[in-house]
Amino acid sequence: MARFILIELALFLLPFAVFYVLAVRARRGEEVSWPWLWLSLAGLVVTTAAFIWFASVDGEDPGLHYQPEAEQVPYELSPDKPAYRQ
């Protein structure tokens, strides 16, 4: 569980770290072109990789079927029973 939390935290903090590095370089006076296209593509790649990772690691074994603990009966309305509880 801790591994999943750390991965999620790293994926969340990665864009902030990239922005921090670019901001520090700009503050030092270096010529910085803000690579919005490359940052967007990198974010898309990281997001896709995260989806693939969690789809392959997390989940139940193939072939298992969900069986509810109790049968769910739909609520029936009739003139004798009000639609709300009093």
CA distance 17 to 23: 10
Flag whether pLDDT at 30 surpasses 90. Answer: no
Torsion of CA 41, 45, 50, 56, to 10 degrees: 160
Flag whether pLDDT at 38 surpasses 80. Answer: yes
Percentage with pLDDT > 90 across the chain: 16
Residues 49-80 pLDDT 10s: 988 988 888 766 777 777 767 766 666 666 66
Which residue would you say has higher pLDDT here, 81 or 56? 56
Q: Give the side-chain half-sphere CA count within 13 A for 66.
A: 5
pLDDT at 6: 92
Which residue would you say has higher pLDDT here, 63 or 4? 4
Q: At 59, give phi and psi (nearest 5°).
A: 130, 175
